[in-house]
Amino acid sequence: MASTSTSDVPSRVSKVKKDRTQLCDEFAAIAGTDSAVARCYLAENDWQMERALNSFYEADLERVFAEDFEENDNAPQNKRQRTEKTTSTDCIDLTKDSPAARKPSDEDDHKLSLISWNVDGLDTDNLVERARGFCSFLVLYTPDVVFLQELIPPYVQYLKKRAVSYLIIEAGEDGYFSGMMLKKSRVKFLESEIITYPTTQMMRNLLVAQVTFKGQKLCLMTSHLESCKGYARERMKQLQVVMQRMKDAPADVNILFGGDTNLRDTEVAKVGLPPSVCDVWERLGKQEHCRYTWDTKANNNKTVPYVCRCRFDRVYLRPATQEGVPRLAPDHMALVGLEKLDCGRYTSDHWGIYCSFAVE
**Is 74 among the domain residues?**
no
**Is 7 among the domain residues?**
no
In degrees, rounded to 5, the angle at the alpha carbon of residue 330 between the alpha carbons of residues 113 and 252 is: 85
**Is 55 among the domain residues?**
yes
Q: Are 234 and 271 in contact (CB under 8 A)?
A: no
253: alpha, beta or left, given left = phi > 0 and alpha = psi -120 to 50? beta
- Per-residue pLDDT tens over the stretch 55-106: 775 666 566 566 554 443 333 333 333 333 333 334 446 556 544 444 456 6
Q: Domain check: are 51 and 104 in the same one? A: no
Burial classification of residue 22, based on how many CB atoms lie within 10 Å of its CB (0-12 exposed, 13-18 middle, 19 or more buried): exposed
Q: Domain check: are 260 and 151 in the same one? A: yes
If you write DSSP's letter for every residue of 139-175 in order, what string do you get? HHH--SEEEEEEE-HHHHHHHHHH-TTEEEEES-SSS
Which CATH number is 45's domain given? 1.10.8
Q: Domain check: are 56 and 105 in the same one? A: no
Q: Domain check: are 193 and 47 in the same one? A: no
CA distances from 202 to 61, 152, 176, 302 (A): 22, 14, 10, 20
Q: Domain check: are 104 and 220 in the same one? A: yes
Q: Are 318 and 331 in contact (CB under 8 A)?
A: no
Question: Facing residues of 114 across strands?
Answer: 145, 355
**Is 2 among the domain residues?**
no
Q: Domain check: are 33 and 90 in the same one? A: no
Q: Domain check: are 254 and 320 in the same one? A: yes
Give the chain's domain count: 2
Burial 175-210 (b: 16+ CB within 10 A, else e): ebbbbbbbbeebbeeeebeebebeebeeebbbbbbb
DSSP label at residue 123: -
User: What separation, in Å, do the N-terminal and C-terminal C-alpha atoms of the chain show?
Assistant: 85
**Is 203 among the domain residues?**
yes
Q: Are 91 and 69 in contact (CB under 8 A)?
A: no
Q: Domain check: are 322 and 182 in the same one? A: yes
pLDDT, block means (10 residues), the chain with 360 residues:
54 75 82 77 83 68 56 36 34 51 63 98 91 93 97 93 94 94 98 97 97 97 96 98 97 98 98 98 97 96 91 98 96 97 96 96
Q: Domain check: are 28 and 89 in the same one? A: no
pTM of the model: 0.76
pLDDT of residue 161: 87
Q: Are 183 and 165 in contact (CB under 8 A)?
A: yes
**Is 337 among the domain residues?**
yes
Please give the helix or strand (H or E) that residue 333 lies within, else none: strand 328-336
Q: Domain check: are 179 and 265 in the same one? A: yes
Q: Domain check: are 42 and 146 in the same one? A: no
**Is 49 among the domain residues?**
yes
Catalytic residue ranges: 260
**Is 71 among the domain residues?**
no
Which CATH number is 94's domain given? 3.60.10.10
pLDDT of residue 93: 63
Angle between helices 49-66 and 8-31 (to 10 degrees): 40
Per the structure, the complete domain to which residue 23 belongs is given by 12-66
Q: Domain check: are 186 and 250 in the same one? A: yes
Which residues, at least 6 apart from 8, have a Cβ–Cβ distance to it below 8 Å?
none
